[in-house]
Structure 1
Amino acid sequence: MSVIRITKQFSFETGHALYGYDGKCRNVHGHSYKLSVTVIGSPITDTRHVKLGMVIDFGDLKKIVKEEIVDKFDHATVFNKNTPHLELANELSQRGHNVILADYQPTSENMVVDFAEKIKARLPKEIQLHSLKLQETESSFAEWHASDH
């Protein structure tokens, strides 16, 4: 039985501010994120199955990532819930803006860990999350690999 990795890519726009940071990123700013999601499994071999030959239907993977990540983070502003920007976050929320108060500093590194946990929880038991790549800029990204955990 073959083990195959498949990857689906996603894009979303998210703003954030890094509480306590000593550089420009302490200010509210945004990124055009690109997220690559790679899962691993064996293609379905049951000839009666409508998804014969697939590890997972790309549409099913898209639904999971869209619901857990893209729909929540796209055009949202993410703050560390311990930020002194809490007043700003509340004001933005009251004005109808999508604000996420995270339990972590919203760096690419922490976001990719958060995303991995959310995606893993939704995958069918026979499919494993292999890796994530969260690209923040053209030249900067964070990666999560199951083999490291």
Structure 2
Amino acid sequence: MTSIGNKRKTAIVRREHFNAAHRLHNAHWSDEKNQRIFGKCNNPNYHGHNYELEVKIIGYCDTETGYVIDTKIISDIIKKYILNRFDHKNLNLDVPEFANLNPTAENIAMVIYNILVEQIDSELEIKIILYETPRNYVEYPL
């Protein structure tokens, strides 16, 4: 990044969408306890969501470009590392990060963050907002 043009940080947000199935289940619990805790989300045949993902990148605007980061770069990174991996997948079966991690919205957001933080300049901050439904969403990290 070249010199800082704005002494205050700015955030740019890229919104994406993916569809995925999952089952919330703790293998250490009985079927009854899983059903009581996770309800419909414990369906043995899985269930799906239409996830809305917001990736917020926070940093200083570059004096030469005026960008915190080029949105095309963000879009390409999200497509390559998140959408190709998560979209139209069964998270429990198809995504290695969830082999031993319950794919709750909280854990999905954390996994997405951990993947993206490796792809973005370390001078920039990343925040993930993941909508599992229009009424339920998580933010990571706080």
Range into which the TM-score falls when normalised by the shorter chain: 0.7 to 0.9
**CA deviation after TM superposition for structure 1 residue 75, in Å:** 0.2
Q: Distance in 1 between matches of 2:134 and 2:122?
A: 34
* 1:32 and 2:50 correspond: yes
| AA matched with 1:18 | L
Unmatched segments (≥5 aa) in structure 1: 47-51, 80-88, 90-98
Indicate the SS of the match to 1:139: coil
Unmatched segments (≥5 aa) in structure 2: 1-6, 27-33
Q: Distance in 1 between matches of 2:95 and 2:62?
A: 38
Residue pairs, 1:63-142, within 5 angstroms: 63-79=76-92, 89=93, 99-101=94-96, 102=98, 103-129=100-126, 131-142=127-138
Q: Distance in 2 between matches of 1:127 and 1:100?
A: 27
Alpha-carbon displacement from aligned partner over 1:80-133 (angstroms, at most 9, x marks no partner): xxxxxxxxx5xxxxxxxxx2241310000111011111111100133221x211
Alpha-carbon displacement from aligned partner over 1:35-91 (angstroms, at most 9, x marks no partner): 011111111113xxxxx1011000101111111111110000011xxxxxxxxx5xx
Kindly indicate which of the two structures has a greater share of residues assigned to strand. 1
How high is the TM-score relative to the length of structure 2?
0.80
How high is the TM-score relative to the length of structure 1?
0.77
Residues paired across the two proteins, number: 122
